[in-house]
Structure 1
Amino acid sequence: MGGKIKNILIVLLTFLPCIFILLLFHAGFEFSLHKESKQHAVKVVKEIDSILNYGEESNNLALNLISDGDSCEKIYSEMRINVARIPYVRTINLAHGNNIYCTSLWGAAEFHSDSMKYISGKLYLMPGSNVEQKYPLIAVRTVIGENVALSGIDGRYIKQLLSEQKNNSFVISLAIGDSWLTHNNEFTHDNPNKSFLAVQRVESKNFPFSVYSGFNSSSSWLAFWQEDQFYIVVILLFQILFSIFCWWQLTRPRPLYLELERAIRKNEFVPYAQPVVDSVTQEIIGVEILMRWKHPYQGIVRPDLFIPQAEDSGLIIPMTHMLLKETSRQLREYKHCLPAPFHVGVNISPQHCNSSILLDECKYFVDGVSNHNIILVLELTEREALDVSEFTQDLFHDLKILGCKIAIDDFGTGHSSLVNLQKINLDYLKIDQIFVKNIGVDCTSEHLIESTVELAKRLSLRIIAEGVETEAQAEYLKKQGIENLQGFLFAKPIPLGEFLQNYNQNINVIDND
């Protein structure tokens, strides 16, 4: 579970900011596309306006040539001169209503011109003309009274304006009514901008036409990548480096002392229980409480990986206080089903024996379980030497008055001495598993066990043998008169709550039978 939380945290700290930054840059890219697209459209509108103004100029000049009684032959040559002189204009035509009667190309003529096709009566985009049917033409219409002038602007002039932006990946098109002129000078009634991005429409204020500008790409993200590859790569590179840094920060080992302090604040040290049984009946008469570290990322941590550091740093004292407090709380819930007396062994280090804190913690434990049949057995570890002073003797005396028992853990492997046995009013000796393991293998271990049993009898001490794993070991220890056994033969350490729950269920099953 802790590993999943860590992975989620790494994702949140790394990939989400990267996505947010890319989305922000992409939004800026789209904004710039719209802005640039509109700038292109505005520019083209101004240029087309100027071209169409020449059409109006030529129309006005042609209309000024008309006088009462003048025929086409009289003004035909002047019209041709105007066409040659005025830029962009290819033809000039004069009409009465919808009937064209004079053209700059053929002189007098009769053609029909439908004024309804002209948008706002001024512009008409034609797919072609009588001269060049395949080349679109823009007709500019000017009316003065009953006289009408029509100027033709070749679409190829407009094409030049529309196609100038193609190299910049922007495609420009002209719309007059429902007719369109594309950048390829193609005439169409279908909107050519459907597949483009950031399409912007700008209307002319002088003539009834609109210019559309769009970015020539079907995907904004593809366009973003093509336009800003360098910046995207830089962002991704920095993001990868940031991810590696976050992963290193979250996974690198912290100093164990700091981790232990953090674990104490978070109540991560939990009690595990391994049963202690009667060597004859093999019934459970108590448990040894073993400290385990429930690390949020690494799971359950063995005590040999943190207890020595805890003892060296002095943190073993608050850790043991936490363990006693939690053990007392859990035992209180099941005190009605436990046998009497019930032995609860808890390891203490010699550091505990230098102040009265241990006495206060034991009082808290006894008051917490509120059951005189639950006996707290303090097992003195021998990783450090115990300096038996007058204060220590008084402390042990007060603990005995409180109802606690005193044991020496792993007897014979640490700093125990006969002097300490003489000065401390002990109740138990615990034979270390290293001797039990060699039963039937090493005669020296058996002799040491027999000597310890003899010593315990002379001092009126009970013996608990640890690390019992086989029936042969259990049988040998029972024959030596050792009262209590503990080891994997009977059970492995499990969480105290789980042990108490299982024990309660087994008792209920026996009672029901």
Structure 2
Amino acid sequence: MPLTLKLTRRWTERYALVVLSGLLPVVLGLFIIAWQADRSLKLVAKQTVTEAVRQFDQMLDNAALATDVVLPLSGQECTQVELALRDQVTRRPFVRSVNLVWDNQLYCSSLFGNFKETVNPENYVAGRLWLMSGNPVTPNEPLLILRKQKDHQGVLVSLYGFHLVNVLGLINHKTLLLLQVGDAWIDRYGVARTTPVPDYPVAQVSLPSAQYPYRVVAGFSEGEVWRFAFMEYPGLIALMIFLGVVSAGTVRWLQKRASSPSHELQRGLEAGEFIPFFQPIVRADDRQWAGAEVLMRWQHPREGLVRPDLFIPFAEHSGLIVPMTRSLMQQTATLLAPQATSMEPGFHIGFNITARHCQDLELVEDCRTFLKAFAPGHIKLVLELTERELIVPSELTHRLFAQLHELGVMIAIDDFGTGHSSLGYLHEFNVDYLKIDQSFVAMIGADALSIHILDAIIELSAKLGLGVVAEGIETEEQSQYLAARGVAFLQGYLFARPLPADQFIVSLRERPARKT
């Protein structure tokens, strides 16, 4: 079977976090910049509208001074006061004309002298102010008229529309301004309208005059927030983009760093760097080799020989433990099949398997391929269930172990007594051997409680008719204690450390044949 790794994650899954981490500081930064730009625009609009009101009030104040001077002249003959009216026009800035009214009849104008026109007080907001779109003399130029009335006397002072438009357009050319008097309003384009006042989409501010019945509205057009932000904060925006790139790059680097063990394991698998080491298992009665546990080692090109505890957890987590075990079985078969004559019949060869191996039936085919390399019945293949991951009993796992037993494969529970699932395995699966964990063996002669647990495990295996293998034998005292209690198979440094393939084969050939 090909030893390949299928990529299970799509591009979007692999890079979604990178994209999000890059966008997050940019989006948050732009949001903060936009918020600050909006606040700044509101401040600008408020300052602009305040200045506009100040200037309009100043214009109307000049007009009000003119009304105060000429109001007492109302009722006199126009020819007698005409020069006085024109004098106020020349003296007062922004004033276009001064007109006298008697009983709501305009009868004298600084522009035309005698003039007759009816004055409608309802045209004036609060009786004081009227924004006209024009008059017969200047039909396209708006006029702002200030009215003052006292009994029968009245004065009308008109202000140039040109000055009004200048204020609206020149205070801040980026700010949209309009002057509203009642229902009428004008903007920088100088056309008086009575349509609804437009709403400015950005930072709209409205400020009424405290002295006269009008208000000024300021704001900005759509998109001004971003135009303002890019104009005022280019360095900050560039910084946000830079931080986004750095964030995305950092996350990508961390992803590569986090996933590098898997990539390195895949590379090592393809390069054939995972090799078998063999630790002999001896019979307790005569110390003859009864089998060997096949242990995986990583012959790394730079790090040298890597301990299994440094890479096996990564292999199990990534799912690579399955093809790695398959490779180990293939290498073992290739190495030991030619040495079959040096092994006594029934020689045990054991491999560790995990929950990952029990997720499909491919393990059956791997075992069948392995057994075919040897003469029928010459060896015993033993699969040792490790408990780093729980093997969940299911219809699939029961089918798997049933087919393995049909092949003659034997099942052992590794490190029995330390995992939470050992007793459950005895109940669910047809187990052949128990391997007593070395932590119990190490307590022989040292800890009474552990000795009782050890004895209980040995007694349990005898009642269940299971074979027992004790691991971690390092002293003669441990060996003799276990042999005396009927433990048939021993494994540990007392007999041999894990050996590379060449040393194991040499030792296997040199071992004397077992006496029958």
| TM-score w.r.t. length of structure 2 | 0.59
1:243 to 230, 245, 248: 248
Mapped partners of 1:126, 1:262: distance in 2: 88
Q: How does 1:255-294 map to 2 (within 5 A)?
A: 264=313, 268=317, 288-290=351-353
Q: How does 1:463-482 map to 2 (within 5 A)?
A: none
Mapped partners of 2:410, 2:390: distance in 1: 9
Mapped partners of 2:230, 2:179: distance in 1: 29
> Structure 1: 5+ residue runs without aligned partners?
277-284, 295-319, 349-357, 379-385, 424-454, 462-513
1:78–1:340 distance in 2 versus 1, CA, 3 Å: closer
Q: In the alignment, which residue of structure 1 is the partner of 2:225?
A: 220
1:151 Cα deviation after fit: 0.3
Q: How does 1:146-185 map to 2 (within 5 A)?
A: 146-167=152-173, 169-185=174-190
Mapped partners of 1:171, 1:262: distance in 2: 68
1:96 Cα deviation after fit: 2.0
1:157–1:268 distance in 2 versus 1, CA, 3 Å: same
Mapped partners of 1:175, 1:117: distance in 2: 14
Mapped partners of 2:308, 2:233: distance in 1: 45
Q: In the alignment, which residue of structure 2 is the partner of 1:441?
A: none
Q: In the alignment, which residue of structure 1 is the partner of 2:386?
A: 323
Q: In the alignment, which residue of structure 1 is the partner of 2:363?
A: none
Mapped partners of 1:225, 1:162: distance in 2: 25
**Residue type at the aligned position of 1:334:** H
Whether the 8 Å CA contact 2:208–2:215 is kept in 1: the answer is yes
Mapped partners of 2:480, 2:406: distance in 1: 26
Tell me if 1:208 matches 2:265: no
Whether the 8 Å CA contact 2:74–2:100 is kept in 1: the answer is no
> Structure 2: 5+ residue runs without aligned partners?
1-7, 265-305, 331-347, 358-382, 436-470
1:245–1:400 distance in 2 versus 1, CA, 3 Å: farther
Q: In the alignment, which residue of structure 1 is the partner of 2:39?
A: 31
Q: In the alignment, which residue of structure 2 is the partner of 1:41?
A: 49
Whether the 8 Å CA contact 1:141–1:149 is kept in 2: the answer is yes
Mapped partners of 1:371, 1:400: distance in 2: 27
Whether the 8 Å CA contact 2:18–2:251 is kept in 1: the answer is yes
**Residue type at the aligned position of 1:121:** G
| TM-score w.r.t. length of structure 1 | 0.60
Q: In the alignment, which residue of structure 1 is the partner of 2:373?
A: none
State the secondary structure of the residue aligned to 2:134: coil
Deviations, residues 145-181 of structure 1 (Å, cap 9, x unaligned): 12110001011111121111353x1122111111112
Tell me if 1:58 matches 2:66: yes
1:192–1:266 distance in 2 versus 1, CA, 3 Å: farther
Q: How does 1:74-223 map to 2 (within 5 A)?
A: 74-167=80-173, 169-191=174-196, 193-194=198-199, 197-218=202-223, 220-223=225-228
Mapped partners of 1:92, 1:124: distance in 2: 15
% identical equivalent positions: 16
Pairwise CA RMSD: 5.0
Q: In the alignment, which residue of structure 1 is the partner of 2:279?
A: none
1:234–1:112 distance in 2 versus 1, CA, 3 Å: same
Deviations, residues 177-221 of structure 1 (Å, cap 9, x unaligned): 111121122222235644652221111111111111122444533
Whether the 8 Å CA contact 1:180–1:188 is kept in 2: the answer is yes
**Residue type at the aligned position of 2:43:** K
Deviations, residues 95-117 of structure 1 (Å, cap 9, x unaligned): 12331111112222211221111
1:12 Cα deviation after fit: 4.2
1:18 Cα deviation after fit: 2.2
Deviations, residues 409-441 of structure 1 (Å, cap 9, x unaligned): 999933226767888xxxxxxxxxxxxxxxxxx
Whether the 8 Å CA contact 2:94–2:163 is kept in 1: the answer is yes
**Residue type at the aligned position of 2:87:** I
Mapped partners of 1:137, 1:367: distance in 2: 98
1:232 Cα deviation after fit: 1.6
Whether the 8 Å CA contact 2:472–2:491 is kept in 1: the answer is no
1:157–1:359 distance in 2 versus 1, CA, 3 Å: closer
**Residue type at the aligned position of 1:369:** L
Mapped partners of 1:373, 1:403: distance in 2: 20
